[in-house]
């Protein structure tokens, strides 16, 4: 009986938090749009600065301690996606993530890389090289993967844990390593 009561209260609290997020967030942060059934975990941070936008479509689940920051750019997370605990998604230009994408814990996705060519100036003063990131539908990014500026990951691909993606991964590929390389295609052995 106590277990059922606790479960009922947990579900009620989750529903109330969703309703508050959907109704209050657009008023407080006009650059953020949340779809229906979006679940945002505790201490997750959705931040919009410099005119950026965040669009999270229906049915997306974002775990705790996630940072999604649109720093002048646009972040779009497609329907029924999942973003694991402690992940970071930062857009200076554009990060587009397709429907049904699974992003495991600790993944870093950033469309800007620091410039560092001039040793006479501090790195922080040299700006960024910014290139959009596109992650297709039904993609699984393994724990602690890093997706760098200008990367494209095709629909249905799997990226191994701790991989660093630089460039293009074709659809239905399984890629791993630093830098990530295709090790096989899904559906073939």
Active site residues: 114
CB 67 within 8 A of CB 106: no
C-alpha 45/C-alpha 129 separation (Å) is 24
Q: Which residue has the tokens 């945002």?
A: 40
Question: What phi and psi values does residue 183 have, to the nearest 5 degrees?
Answer: -105, -20
Q: ∠ CA(179), CA(180), CA(183), 5° rounding?
A: 135
CB 18 within 8 A of CB 41: no
C-alpha 54/C-alpha 79 separation (Å) is 13
DSSP state, residue 21: H
Collect all residues with Cβ–Cβ distance below 8 Å to 54 and sequence separation of at least 6: 31, 32, 33, 46, 48, 68, 70, 74, 75, 76
C-alpha 82/C-alpha 142 separation (Å) is 12
C-alpha 163/C-alpha 103 separation (Å) is 13
If you count them, how many residues does the chain have?
Answer: 189
């Amino acid at each position: 009986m106590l277990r059922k009561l606790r479960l009922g209260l947990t579900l009620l609290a989750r529903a109330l938090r969703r309703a508050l997020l959907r109704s209050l967030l657009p008023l407080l942060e006009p650059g953020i749009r949340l779809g229906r059934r979006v679940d945002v975990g505790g201490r997750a941070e959705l931040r919009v600065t410099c005119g950026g936008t965040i669009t999270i479509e229906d049915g997306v689940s974002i775990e705790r301690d996630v940072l999604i920051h649109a720093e002048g750019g646009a972040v779009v997370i497609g329907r029924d996606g999942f973003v694991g605990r402690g992940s970071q998604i930062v857009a200076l230009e554009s990060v587009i993530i397709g429907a049904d994408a699974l992003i495991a814990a600790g993944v870093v996705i950033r469309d800007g890389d620091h410039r560092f060519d001039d040793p006479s100036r501090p790195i922080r003063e040299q700006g960024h090289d910014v290139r959009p990131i596109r992650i297709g539908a039904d993609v699984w990014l393994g724990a602690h993967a890093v997706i760098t500026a200008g990367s494209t990951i095709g629909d249905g691909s799997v990226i191994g844990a701790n991989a660093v993606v630089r460039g293009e991964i074709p659809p239905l590929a399984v890629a791993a390593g630093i830098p990530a390389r295709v090790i096989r295609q899904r559906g073939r052995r």
